[in-house]
Every structure is written in C-alpha cells, then in structure tokens.
Amino acid sequence: MITTPLQYHAVASRIEQIKDADAGTPAAEELRILTKLIVKFVAEQNTANAVRKA
C-alpha cells in the first residue's frame, strides 16, 4: 500500500527501472503489482481532493 508522496515517488522510480520487463519474469510480476498500487494511490488522492473541494 502506498500512503505517502514519498512512497509514491519511490514506487514510480522502481516502475521506471523495470518498465521493459519481459512477460512472465519476476520483474514483470513486480511491475504489475506496483502499477496497481500506483493506480490505487492516485484514485484515492483524487477522491480525497474531490471531497475537500466539496
């Protein structure tokens, strides 16, 4: 779970490092998981921002 901007940036950096991983490799699985975490974090941030603006 990503809960802070610092964690977000660390995960984004790791994604950048492994973005060209070959399918079926451990790096590709890591990429899949990290991408899901990033998407979830961004969605939660967007929701929190929308609530604050309401």
Question: What is the model's pLDDT at position 15?
Answer: 98
The stretch 42-47 carries a mean pLDDT of 94
Question: What is the model's pLDDT at position 14?
Answer: 98
How many percent of the chain have pLDDT more than 70?
100
CA distances from 26 to 4, 15, 42, 44, 48 (A): 25, 13, 24, 27, 33
Are the C-beta atoms of residues 34 and 11 closer than 8 Å to each other?
A: yes
Mean per-residue pLDDT of the chain: 96
- Lookup: tokens for 8: 């977000």
* Number of structural domains found in the chain: 1
For residue 25, give the DSSP letter: S
- Cβ neighbours for 12, distance < 8 A, ≥ 6 positions apart: 38
Question: What is the model's pLDDT at position 54?
Answer: 77
- Expressed as residue numbers, the domain containing 18 is 5-53
Are the C-beta atoms of residues 21 and 27 closer than 8 Å to each other?
A: yes
